[in-house]
Amino acid sequence: MIEVQEIRLDPDARRIWCGQEEIVLSRKEFDLVHALMARAGDIVSRDDLMREVWHTTFWTSSKTIDVHLGWVRRKLGDDSRQPHLITTIRGRGLRFETEDLRAPG
């Protein structure tokens, strides 16, 4: 079991929870979240994500990751304008944050 912030992910059962609520993700969405949560706190490059999640070394579309990320953020309640779970590090990749980035209160 991988737990980061309020998200729990069971890689063997391929299940994920946000707090007490189980979230239904597609296969690729789950693989994307798993790839990021497994290295929470570290920047994961888009090239690495394309290799690990889509099993390709070429870009089928530069928007593939962004589209799936948008779906994942909506399902996990992560505001794309001010994300607290998965942040985009411009020019470097994505990072699953180990701490909630939202201001308290």
Helix 64-76 vs helix 46-54: angle between axes, to the nearest 10 degrees?
A: 80
Give the tens place of pLDDT for each residue, 79-97: 989 999 999 999 999 999 9
pTM score of the predicted model: 0.92
Quick one: CA dihedral 83, 69, 10, 60, positive or negative? negative
Look up residue 11 and give its two tokens: 């890689």
Chosen CATH of 2-96 out of 1.10.10.10, 2.40.50.140, 3.75.10.10, 1.10.1270.20:
1.10.10.10
**DSSP-derived 3-state class of residue 87:** strand
User: To 5 degrees, how large is the angle CA 61–CA 66–CA 67?
Assistant: 85
pLDDT of amino acid 80 = 87
Give the tens place of pLDDT for each residue, 46-79: 989 999 998 887 766 668 899 999 999 999 999 9
